[in-house]
């Protein structure tokens, strides 16, 4: 197959270049101009379109198995494809059983493999409170088939308790020994608990009343993120494995800078770039995430750190819920999490590169290259280069995208991006040379047809393991 006449976003370039891509067996085998089609070779005309590498979203909660009322791997990966994401990495904590040992991973893979529309990898989970060497043994049993390990310093899940500082140190050391990053949800639990008590006391002193979104934001302050990141950096440095630490969904610029100085990495999410705490007045629970978005100054600083590479990449932290869970009636109990994988690339394309906040090079790194490299997938994923998988997004740069929750393929429909108008529109998404999403067939999703633009069968997505694997397992 040849994808011809597109404006192709090649890595480390200032502007897209007019080029043709030849694809054989799902891989890019040639990049050139005026490639001649062989006998029977299909030619796709990408004239007038941008050809971008498929986005890598290394932070999704597709909730399968166990919490399919919130999301399924089928619907989540369909939403990813709709938004130009061709690789996802799924978190271990929001499925049952949590992925903390090899048997749990087997159980998850058995269910997920028939549902996935885009390529996918998993993280292993590290829970607090495990006895003896359970923590280290569980991690070792998972290492060949996971792209990293995830733990929490503050957890809202009964099935996945947080680690204490001693356990965090051990988890970092073991992840380093196994050659995988250790991903951390970094908010200090004690600090947040005290902040919550203070918030409640202040409200009572003012005569009570319903808790507000300001109360929620104030209960999870920026200091709690900075403290947790400082502790984690210290624990990693003490063990000589600073580069093993990766802090997820950082919304505080000072924390991101400190992590980079220590040799650790971090990610931010599109919602921290797009919104501030003032936006709760408009969006309410649709904007509730953990950690919450902070003030406007923070947002601008995060953009600057993303532009200069201090924050290497952006993720969605896709974590939808049912409408009932999302709108429980209290800021404390409304579900914390938003459907984000389908809005990630369109948002960064429009407000990052096309708006001039990011160079093309940084845009490509932020949406695909840097995450692929961090999680050991860059032999196959993350850029348009000969030898890599033909994971592509064809985008009309002159068209507009207006985000509407009821058009999402995710089961979650409450999005803070509701009504946002963006420059550029995804026309099709390709995974290993196969079109998975076709905007030409997209329509308003219905119960009978929840993913109308999906043109590949469930199960097309392939399970990914890390190239940084001492004993690669040919698992599938
Ligand atoms: Zn998450």
Strand ranges (E), 82-218:
85-90, 119-122, 124-125, 149-152, 182-185
The tokens describing 130, both together, are 């495990």
Q: Is 314:343 a contact under the CB 8 Å cutoff?
A: no
Task: Quote the ligand 1 centre to 159 CA distance (angstroms).
Answer: 15
User: Cα 271 from chain centroid?
Assistant: 11
In which element (H, E) is residue 398 found?
strand 392-402
Tens digits of residue pLDDT in 55-108: 999 999 999 999 999 999 999 999 999 999 999 999 999 999 999 999 999 999
How distant is the alpha carbon of residue 193 from its chain centre? Answer: 27
Q: Describe the strand order of the beta sheet including 149-152 as a list of residue ranges.
A: 124-125, 149-152, 182-185, 245-247, 265-269, 313-315
- The rounded Å distance from CA 416 to ligand 1 centre is 17
**Domain 56-382 grouped into CATH 3.20.20.140:** yes
Rounded distance between C-alpha atoms, residue 219 and residue 323, angstroms? 24
Give the span between the Cα atoms of 73 and 61, in whole angstroms: 9
- Contact call for residues 445 and 407 (beta carbons, < 8 A): yes
pLDDT digits (tens, 9 = 90+) for 85-100: 999 999 999 999 999 9
The full 3-state SS of 173-207, as one line of letters, equals: HHHHHHCCCEEEECCCHHHHHHHHHHHHHHHHHCC
Judge contact between 278 and 299, C-beta under 8 A.
no
Residue 316 has pLDDT above 60, yes or no: yes
Stronger pLDDT, 468 or 23, i.e. the higher one: 23
Q: What is the pLDDT of residue 473?
A: 40
Instruction: With beta carbons less than 8 A apart as the criterion, state whether 182 and 244 touch.
Output: yes
The candidate with the shortest Cα–Cα distance to 431, out of 382, 375, 392, 476, is 392
pTM over 0.75: yes
CA of 316 to the centre of ligand 1 (A): 8
* Neighbouring C-beta atoms of residue 329, cutoff 10 Å: 10
Collapse the DSSP code of 363 into the 3-class scheme (helix H, G, I; strand E, B; otherwise coil) and give the result.
helix
Question: Tell me: the pLDDT tens digits for 183-201?
Answer: 999 999 999 999 999 999 9
* Residues 15-30 pLDDT 10s: 999 999 999 999 999 9
- C-alpha span between 250 and 225 (Å, rounded): 8
How far is ligand 1, taken at its centre, from the CA of residue 215, in Å?
A: 22
Q: How far is CA 239 from the centre of its chain?
A: 28
Residue 468: per-residue pLDDT: 72
Q: Give 204 Cα–ligand 1 centroid separation in angstroms.
A: 32
Q: How far is the CA of 266 from the centre of ligand 1 (A)?
A: 13
Q: How far apart are CA 229 and CA 268, in angstroms?
A: 14
Report how far residue 316's alpha carbon sits from residue 268's, in angstroms, rounded to the nearest whole number.
Answer: 8
CA of 35 to the centre of ligand 1 (A): 43
Confidence band for 471, pLDDT divided at 50, 70 and 90: very low
Q: How far is the CA of 91 from the centre of ligand 1 (A)?
A: 7
Q: What is the mean pLDDT of the chain?
A: 95
Which pLDDT score is estimated for 418?
98
- The neighbouring-strand residues paired with 267 are 313
Mean pLDDT of 271-276: 98
Q: Is residue 363's pLDDT more than 50?
A: yes
């Amino acid at each position: 197959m040849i994808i011809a006449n597109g404006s192709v976003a090649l890595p480390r370039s200032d502007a897209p270049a007019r080029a043709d891509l030849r694809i054989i067996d799902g891989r890019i085998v040639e990049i050139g101009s005026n490639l001649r089609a062989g006998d029977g070779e299909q030619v796709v005309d990408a004239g007038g379109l941008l050809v971008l590498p498929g986005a890598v979203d290394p932070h999704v909660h597709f909730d399968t198995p166990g919490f399919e009322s919130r999301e399924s791997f089928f619907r989540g990966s369909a939403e990813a494809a709709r938004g130009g994401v061709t690789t996802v990495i799924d978190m271990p904590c929001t499925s049952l059983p949590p992925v903390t040992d090899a048997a749990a991973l087997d159980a998850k893979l058995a269910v997920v493999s028939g549902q996935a529309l885009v390529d996918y990898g998993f993280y292993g989970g590290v829970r607090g409170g495990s006895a003896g060497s359970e923590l280290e043994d569980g991690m070792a049993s998972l290492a060949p088939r996971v792209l990293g390990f995830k733990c929490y310093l503050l957890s809202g899940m009964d099935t996945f308790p947080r680690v204490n500082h001693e356990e965090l140190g051990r988890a970092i050391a073991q992840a380093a020994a196994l050659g995988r990053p250790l991903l951390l949800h970094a908010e200090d639990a004690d600090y947040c608990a005290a902040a919550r008590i203070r918030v409640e006391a202040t409200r009572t002193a003012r005569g009570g009343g319903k808790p507000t979104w300001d109360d929620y934001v104030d209960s999870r302050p920026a200091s709690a993120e900075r403290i947790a990141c400082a502790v984690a950096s210290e624990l990693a440095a003490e063990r000589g494995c600073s580069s093993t630490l990766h802090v997820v969904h950082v919304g505080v610029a000072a924390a991101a800078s400190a992590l980079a100085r220590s040799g650790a990495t971090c990610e931010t999410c599109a919602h921290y770039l797009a919104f501030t705490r003032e936006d709760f007045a408009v969006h309410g629970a649709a904007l509730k995430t953990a950690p919450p978005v902070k003030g406007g100054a923070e947002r601008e600083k995060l953009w600057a750190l993303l532009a200069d590479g201090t924050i290497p990449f952006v993720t969605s932290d896709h974590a939808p819920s049912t409408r009932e869970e999302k709108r429980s009636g209290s800021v404390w109990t409304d579900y914390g999490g938003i459907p984000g994988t389908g809005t990630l690339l369109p948002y960064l394309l429009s407000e990052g590169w096309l708006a001039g906040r990011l160079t093309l090079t940084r845009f490509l790194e932020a949406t695909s290259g840097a995450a692929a490299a961090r999680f050991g997938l860059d032999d196959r994923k993350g850029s348009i280069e000969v030898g890599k998988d033909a994971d592509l997004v064809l985008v009309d740069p002159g068209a507009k995208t207006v985000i509407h929750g009821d058009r999402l393929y995710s089961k979650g429909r409450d999005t803070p991006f509701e009504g946002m108008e963006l420059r550029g529109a995804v026309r099709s998404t390709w995974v290993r040379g196969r079109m998975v999403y076709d905007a030409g067939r997209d329509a308003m999703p219905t119960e009978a047809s929840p993913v109308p633009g999906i043109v590949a069968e469930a199960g097309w997505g392939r399970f990914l393991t890390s190239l940084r694997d001492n004993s690669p397992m040919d698992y599938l």
